[in-house]
């Protein structure tokens, strides 16, 4: 095996190990002392509910079908859908992207903002 092949396999093994360890730590309940996926999704839903016209009509997808994207800077993006009443009797479905940042000093997530695909079910406010 050449030196180049050895370096390739060592890098590949390190990436696979890092992926496995990160997922096991996160799924076990902590991510650098932070909350679980379930808590992150709950925070994101609370943030969205505060901005819905009729929060009691909200239906969210199951957590297993939500995407969680983490960055090196400890920010997160929760990507999913919400169905809610739009205030005129119709139910609308909107894709939601909720962004947050983990504060290592306080040990808490702070939701930074969100984007959506259908604004008809939301109250426009900051």
Based on the domain organization, do 65 and 109 belong to the same domain?
yes
Does some domain include residue 126? no
* pLDDT tens by residue, 21-59: 444 434 333 444 445 678 788 888 998 998 888 899 999
Distances (CA, A) of 91 to 74, 98, 121: 34, 21, 8
Confidence (pTM): 0.66
**Which residue has tokens 């962004």?**
99
- Calculate mean pLDDT across residues 102-120: 79
Look-up: residue for tokens 């379930």? 38
53 shares its domain with 112? yes
Q: What is the dihedral sign for C-alpha 88, 91, 95, 101?
A: positive
Tell me how far apart the alpha carbons of residues 111 and 102 are, in angstroms, rounded to a whole number.
9
Residue 25 tokens read as 């730590």
Mean per-residue pLDDT, 96-125 = 78
Give the pLDDT score at 60: 95
- What mean pLDDT, rounded, does the chain reach? 77
Token digits of residue 17: 């190990």
**Pair 109, 72 in one domain:** yes
Looking at residues 76-97, what average pLDDT do you find? 88
* Residue whose token pair is 């239906």: 59
Do 91 and 116 have their domain in common? yes
């Amino acid at each position: 095996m050449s030196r180049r092949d050895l370096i390739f396999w060592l890098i590949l093994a390190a990436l696979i190990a890092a992926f496995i360890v990160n997922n096991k730590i996160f799924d076990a309940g902590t991510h650098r002392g932070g909350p679980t996926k379930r808590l992150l999704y709950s925070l994101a839903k609370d943030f969205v509910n505060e901005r819905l016209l009729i929060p009691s009509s909200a239906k969210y997808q199951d957590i297993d079908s939500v995407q969680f994207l983490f960055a090196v800077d400890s920010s997160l993006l929760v990507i999913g859908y919400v169905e809610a009443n739009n205030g005129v009797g119709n139910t609308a479905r909107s894709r939601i992207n909720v962004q947050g940042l983990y504060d290592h000093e306080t040990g808490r997530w702070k939701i930074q903002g969100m984007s959506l695909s259908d604004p008809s079910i939301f109250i426009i406010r900051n």
